[in-house]
Amino acid sequence: MGDHDVAVLGVGMHEWGKWGRPFQEYGITAALRALDDAGVDWPDVQLIVGGETVRNGYPGYVAGATMAEALGWTGARVATAYAACASGAAALEVARTRILAGLCDVALVVGADTTPKGFLAPNAGERWDDADWLRFRLLGMTNPAYFALYARRRMDLYGATDADFAAVKVKNARHGLANPYARYRKEVTADDVLASPMVADPLRLLEVCATSDGAAAVVVSSMAYARRHTTDPVRVRAISTVTPTFPNTVIEMPNLSTDSAVAVAPGDRGFRDSIAHACYEESGLGPEDLSLAEVYDLSTALELDWYENIGLCPVGEAERLLADGATALGGRVPVNPSGGLSCFGEAVPAQALAQVCEVAWQLRGQATGRQVPDASVGITANQGLFGHGSSVLLSR
């Protein structure tokens, strides 16, 4: 165990769905559940950090203060973090850093979102220096269009097939059946997946994640504070918020091109590979120590990429790992035992925290119906627009 560990005292979530209610309603439910799980009273929380939601007006821009006001002003310190899909991990890192600096004993981190119908898109207005706005305005490049590019890349480089992509959905749908917080709790067959409408070739409707409303919250503390509440807390061993290294030669949303490698050769490790690697370096653990992983399956094809990015198998062998059952419940390292985005959909500032909640439940042995036996180490992995890495490694 490291001297930079912090404890996860409590976790809580609001069910994912599509209700169109104010995002703070979901956030308060998740926060109160996390506080109750931790056995901590709201007035005792010294810091609250909110994951920003950019689609919900000014209250979303200052999500930390919005949540603090909704819970009731107590004079606690407040912060808000935005890193697109990595916002939850960025918010958790703010809390961890203040705890490790000795400036805080216990903190509450909350992410909540209400999303519009259809694809996520930039806010209104003309911004000709905004790559995210430009990709919609110039090319009509929605998120699934990028997901399809990654899928085609995998097919061309490693021989992935439509059947491989469908098998990921079948696995995750089965995992999500027992998750009470999941939006989609229905088993599907490969035929169901392959018969669903094409969204962006080669990806079909059941192979890309929906947009959802939802919330997740985590109570973290110093180890000294945790020892007064529990004897064996789940620990945050590492958090990675790395950025790419030049030249980044694999296109990343929302960019329209890659960096040139003419003058500078690419490094040994690409951006996504570096995300989990930073957690392994910090914690002294490695992929061989993992009991489970929660990865950002924006599409079924991207989940296969993540197997390799977090070190579960060599490059090009993710399809074999999946086919062997290694990433299913009962396999060597179950991936997305929660059901993943496939079963939840995407609630941007909440998603990285939802991953942490699932790993915490698994490490405590509380993931009823989807429990990984004897789970002791778990990792999360995702990324946000404009080069935001996101990974959290937890252990008992």
What is each CA distance from 266 to 115, 146, 352, in whole angstroms? Answer: 37, 22, 28
CB 48 within 8 Å of CB 76: yes
Distances 78 to 11, 14, 337, 356 between C-alpha atoms, Å: 19, 22, 33, 21
**pLDDT of 15-48, one tens digit each?**
999 999 999 999 999 999 999 999 999 999 999 9
- Both tokens of 274, joined, read 């570096």
- What is the identity of the amino acid at 235? R
Domain boundaries, the chain: 6-118+214-234, 131-208+236-395
Look up residue 75 and give its two tokens: 């004079």
Percentage of the chain surpassing pLDDT 70? 99
Tell me, what's the pLDDT at 1?
58
- pLDDT (tens digit per residue) in 338-394: 999 999 999 999 999 999 999 999 999 999 999 999 999 999 999 998 889 999 999
Neighbouring residues of 97: CB distance < 8 A, sequence distance ≥ 6: none
Q: What is the pLDDT of residues 311-343, one digit of tens each?
A: 999 999 999 999 999 999 999 999 999 999 999
Q: Which residues pair with 78 in a beta bridge?
A: 48
Question: Which candidate, 141, 170, 142, 164, places its Cα nearest to that of 151?
Answer: 164
207-212: average pLDDT: 96
Class level of CATH domain 131-208+236-395: alpha beta
Name residue 239's beta-bridge partners.
392
Question: What gap in Å lies between CA 303 and CA 296, rounded to an integer?
Answer: 7
Mean pLDDT, range 238-257, rounded to an integer: 91
* Per-residue pLDDT tens digits for 42-76: 999 999 999 999 888 888 999 999 999 999 999 99
Average pLDDT along the chain = 95
Q: How many CB atoms lie within 10 A of CB 373?
A: 10
- pTM listed for this prediction: 0.96
Q: Where do runs of H (alpha helix) occur along the chain?
A: 23-38, 57-61, 63-71, 87-100, 131-139, 143-158, 162-176, 190-195, 223-227, 271-283, 300-309, 318-323, 340-344, 348-364
Level-2 CATH architecture, domain 6-118+214-234: 3-Layer(aba) Sandwich (3.40)
Distance between CA atoms of 309 and 272, rounded to whole angstroms? 6
Residue 2 scores a pLDDT above 70: no
